[in-house]
Structure 1
Amino acid sequence: MSVVAGVAGQPIAHSLSPLIHGAWIAAAGLDADYRAFGPADEARFAALVAEGRAGGLRGLNVTAPFKAAALALADQVSETARICGSANLLVFEDGRVRADSTDGAGLLAALAEQAPALDLSGRPVLILGAGGAARAAAAALKAAGAEVSVLNRTAERAERLAADLSVAVAGPETAAEAALVVNALSAPPEIDVGALRGDAVLMDMTYKPLLTPFLAAGRAGGLTTVDGLAMLIGQARPSFQAFFGVEPPPVDVRALALAVLGEAA
């Protein structure tokens, strides 16, 4: 019987996940399908999860605005997802729902690919934002040995994240000292790239556009940049393995995604 998985979010038409997973499925020769689901609201998302629990789906990647609901509907929650307060991966097995977050793994994979010279151990890292994506980044970077600070327009949210994950709230000098600055905001950050150290790495979790204003400013200043597409592909790899039981085959899914985005490599 064909294995069915997919991605759930609203809106969902822009998602590159079906393209990425579909290319891997074809290359691996699997009897499987990966679909985009666009539940209109949380009630319909819960119905989709119930379908998975009943055996109709093998798993779901979950994107906005259902990541918190995904966590709440799970029977088993990974420590990473618990820390993040949200889940982007649900796996259905024997009537149970297992939740995880692969965003942190995707972030570290992107850094390894596009900033291989960056050593995180003991280095100061600044995360811009305090939502679920920022939490995933903070947890992964702290586990990698970095000295993590968070900066958010609403100080209370930054303080809550810092307390939950035992990281720091950014001070005035943090950006200037940071070896890595990660933008986990949906909007361009208000940060003076020119004030950063000359060997700083900039990362943006957004991939549309691929070269965000934040990354463009860094690149113009000669800084190493890491884009959100590398993170998207990085977080998709453990999801594919969880759904289909095999590692993704060596397909250049980035080139396929760039073609759809209309971006140059």
Structure 2
Amino acid sequence: MTAAWAEVIGDPVAQSKSPVIHGHWLEALGIEGDFLKTRVEPPALGSFFAGRRARPDWRGCSVTIPHKLAVIPHLDALDPSATATGAVNCVRRDGPRLIGANTDVEGVAAALEGWSGGKAVLIGAGGAARAALEALRRLGAGPVAIIARDRTAGSDLLGRFRLAGEVHSFAEAGQATIGARLIINASPLGMKGMAGMPGTVLDALAKVEDDARVFDMVYAPVETELLRRAGSMSLGAVTGLTMLVGQARAAFGWFFGAEPPKAGDDALMRALGA
């Protein structure tokens, strides 16, 4: 019998550290299996899933940018986590069916552990932003200011998650961050190979509360310019690795039928470059 395997798909995907995480757990548990990374360009999503359906040893895939919304029409069903967010970061096989799920919410919750609430600022209005907003809704956060290029998309998200707040352009970042106790970057800005975080946002950190936390979902590089600026101001800084590991835990169980161990997390973080 061929060993089970799964993968992460995206475009780009070279920066993904998911194979390191899943490989660490596979080795720790002595499970014969593999976890790969595969670049899938948007026009190829349909043929990709058609091909994977024919592979019984394929257990599913993690989904990263830009596919978290685009994968949905190619799936047979969504579980409640994906329905709540309207985005998918994990596809699991259920017999002949492919089920979309969203474990990013758990990943965001792990990154926000211990945060006591208040005004939050969210950068971005794509698939990752939806997971952040669902986590904020569950935490009772508010108000929420969204910084996005597309104001309509930002307004639609606030309405979808029934959160009080407003939408700002990047030029208005200084207004958005006044009194904020949390900043979340849910965009690819600052990621290796992508555009950097605009200076207007970096400078806007001067307007947040002294006890504010800054969480950047970007994990390549681990220390982004946004986190460096936060650190220089003695603000709490949380890297994207916390979310990455948090969201991977549920996915690993679906892919390989076992709960990943928490023992050895320090070694895993070192392997990830933390």
What is the match of residue 193 of structure 2?
none
1:152 paired with 2:148, answer yes
1:169 counterpart = 2:158: no
Whichever residue aligns with residue 148 of structure 2, its letter is N
Residues 16 and 257 of structure 1 are in contact (CA less than 8 Å); yes or no, is this contact kept in structure 2? Answer: yes
TM-fit CA distance, 1:21: 0.5
The answer to whether structure 1 residue 124 and structure 2 residue 119 are counterparts is yes
Residues 57-114 of structure 1 deviation map (CA, whole Å, 9 limit, x = unaligned): 11111112322232221111123323433211000121001101111211111222xx
Whether 1:254 aligns to 2:254 is no
Partner Cα distance (2:166, 2:208) in 1:
14
CA distance in structure 2 between the aligned counterparts of 1:207 and 1:256, rounded to whole angstroms: 13
1:71: which partner in 2? 72
Q: How does 1:86-125 map to 2 (within 5 A)?
A: 86-112=87-113, 116=114, 118-120=115-117, 123-125=118-120
Q: CA RMSD for the aligned pairs?
A: 1.9
Rounded Cα–Cα distance in structure 1 between residues aligned with 2:109 and 2:159 = 22
Distance, in Å, in 1 between the alignment partners of 2:59 and 2:220 is 29
In the superposition, the TM-score normalised over structure 2's length comes to: 0.85
* Partner residue in 2 for 1:80: 81
- Alpha-carbon displacement from aligned partner over 1:211-264 (angstroms, at most 9, x marks no partner): 212111111111111111111111111111111121112233111010xxxxxx
Cα distance, 1:174 vs structure 2: 5.0
1:148 CA displacement: 4.5
Contact 1:52 1:92 survives alignment (8 Å): no
| CA distance in structure 2 between the partners assigned to 1:41 and 1:156 by the alignment | 23
Range moving further from structure 2, 67-76 or 24-33: 67-76
> Which stretches in structure 2 are left out of the alignment for 5+ residues?
168-173, 190-196
- The residue identity in structure 2 corresponding to 1:180 is L
The one-letter code matched in structure 2 to 1:156 is: T
C-alpha separation in 1, matches of 2:39 and 2:226: 30
Shift of 1:156: 1.3
Q: Deviations over 1:161-201 (max 9, x none)?
A: 11111113337865222221111122215331111110111
Aligned-partner Cα distance in 1 for 2:249–2:32:
18
Give the corresponding residue for 1:226. 238
| C-alpha contact 1:42 1:69 (8 A) present in aligned 2 | no
Give the TM-score, by structure 1 length. Answer: 0.87
Provide the rounded CA distance (Å) in 2 between the counterparts of 1:169 and 1:119: 18
CA distance in 2, matches of 1:82, 1:142: 15
Equivalent of 1:237, from 249, 254, 267? 249
Structure-2 separation of matches of 1:134 and 1:231: 13
